[in-house]
Amino acid sequence: MPTINDILVLLPEFYLVAAACLLLLMDAFIKPEQRGTLHWCSIVVLLVAIYLVIAGQPDVTVTAFGNMFIRDPASEIIKVFVLLCTVLVFIFSRPYLIDRKRFVGEFYTLMIFAVIGVMLMVSAGNLVMIYLGLEMLTLSSYALVALNRDSPLSSEAAIKYFVLGALTSGMLLYGMSMVYGAAGTLDLAQLHEAIAQGTVSRLMVFGLIFMLVGIAFELGAAPFHMWIPDVYQGASTPVTTFIASVSKLAAFGLAWRLLDTGLAGLSNYWQPMLAVISVLSMGIGNLVALVQTNIKRMLAYSTIAHMGFLLMGITNATPGGYASAMFYAICYALMSTVAFGVVLAMARAGFECEEISDLKGLNERSPWFAGMMAISMFSLAGVPPLFGFYAKYLVLQAAINAGYLWLAICGIVMAIIGLWYYLHVIKVMYFDQPEEGGATVSASDSSLRVVLSLNGLALLALGVYWGPLLGWCRRSLGLS
């Protein structure tokens, strides 16, 4: 029987469910020209949720509903940045949606339901809760990708995403069932204890392999990356921004919950597997990105490479390694929102800024936003003293500390290779002559300009003052 304490522990999640339902009702009754109200109400809802997550976080870890739900400092950080990135997506997307007559309530409510799924998943204390949260996220994401029903490319991307996602979801569930059959429990804490007491069988290790497939798919790591380029290109740019930022934070939360809270005792089995996946991701992502001409596909393969770097931190399998991976996930989410935010700012009615050549001469047309894009590209490449440099440094250090020197060397080589395609974008913006009808910031939305500028400048600020954020990540995982 649920108690009042159970409800209070899940207050941010219950609040978002109620708010999403109210937004659905509001969308059903307001006139199309009043949808601006729905936009700002959705942003306020998420900002209030951030306050509830931070203000309501207890000093110690608490559980609810028979340990199905865990509220702890680590999940708090992931939730705050998931909500913050969703706010950024809403602000960046408004002019784009209005220009294309797709300024509809479903965009906002589906994203909020996806965020609820993320929040449940990263706070899960049970394999069933992990699966329910993951399905809530992915089902909402399928619908978001297919939101532009008039686009054959979007429909194709949604079908591919759905089919591959359903297959991987089944494999993850199959792995969970085998782990349950071996350990006799779905509770992550009890599973951790059973492994510590020596309950390790071939069935459990076999189940672990299937669960790693699910984690790799959600991260978009090779060789389970095939959905990323098509979905990034086929989905509308606002949805691509959401998947590139929020879904990657969610995937880290999934990996951390499963591998640390539940399967830490099997680290000798999953560490080398993740190391191999990391190398494959960095290699395939960086090498294929070199030949891309579509900026969304280029950033898609860049995502695959970055997930390889993130896995280097998880491979460490210690609180320090998880802290570095969490720091990297946050860093990547903020960097990707800047890159896609500039692409959204360049787009206008009748023009989609999707080809790298569309950015030719951007510095002459819009020097400020060319600078924001340059900051994003340099940070994604890991150029000091930007935010991305310290994130790469920390995961490389985590890999070395775990005894994977060869993995760190591969990471350094791949980072150097990846520098080329980021520099190519900068070269096109600053040294190529602008083309007639090319990209320029035509959006009159001042909120997009201001918030995108703050997001870009944050990459500079966090590159200099990254210590407090890293300290927050480390403290959330029990480190000083």
Report residue 207 as tokens: 């189940």
> Of how many residues is the chain composed?
480
Domain boundaries along the sequence of the chain: 4-476
Exposure of 466 in the CB half-sphere (CA atoms within 13 A): 22
- Amino acid making up residue 109: T
Side chain identity at residue 364, one-letter code? E
Q: Provide the phi-psi class of 317: left if phi over 0, else alpha when psi is between -120 and 50, else beta.
A: left
Digitized pLDDT (tens) for each residue of the chain, 480 residues in all: 678 888 888 999 999 999 999 999 998 888 877 888 899 999 999 999 999 999 877 778 888 888 899 999 999 999 999 999 999 999 999 988 888 888 888 999 999 999 999 999 999 999 999 999 999 999 999 999 998 888 888 999 999 999 999 999 999 999 999 999 998 899 999 999 988 887 778 889 999 999 999 999 999 998 998 899 999 999 999 999 999 999 999 999 999 999 998 898 899 999 999 999 999 999 999 999 999 999 999 999 999 999 999 999 999 999 999 999 999 999 999 999 999 999 998 886 566 788 888 888 888 888 999 999 999 999 999 998 899 999 999 999 999 999 999 999 999 999 999 999 999 999 999 998 877 655 555 555 788 899 999 999 999 999 889 999 999 999 999 887
477 in helix, strand or coil?
coil
Are residues 337 and 88 in contact, defined by beta-carbon separation less than 8 angstroms? Answer: yes
Cα dihedral 188→194→195→200 (10° resolution): -120
Return the number of other C-beta atoms located less than 10 Å from residue 357's C-beta. Answer: 14
Q: 74 by DSSP, 3-state: which?
A: helix
Contact assessment for residue 114 and residue 73, using Cβ atoms and an 8 Å cutoff: no
Q: Extract the tokens encoding 350.
A: 């009748």
Rounded to whole angstroms, how far apart are CA atoms 349 and 351? 6
Contact 375, 244 (CB under 8 A): no
- Residue appearing with tokens 């959401």: 242
In 3D space, the residue among 295, 331, 345 whose CA is nearest the CA of residue 92 turns out to be 345
How far is the C-alpha of 286 from the C-alpha of 281, rounded, in Å?
8
Cα four-point dihedral sign 262, 251, 328, 278: positive
Question: Helix (H, G, I), strand (E, B), or coil: what is residue 69?
Answer: strand
Confirm if 262 and 203 have CB atoms less than 8 A apart: no
Distance CA 156, CA 345 (A): 25
Phi-psi region at 374: left, alpha or beta (left = phi > 0; alpha = psi -120 to 50): alpha
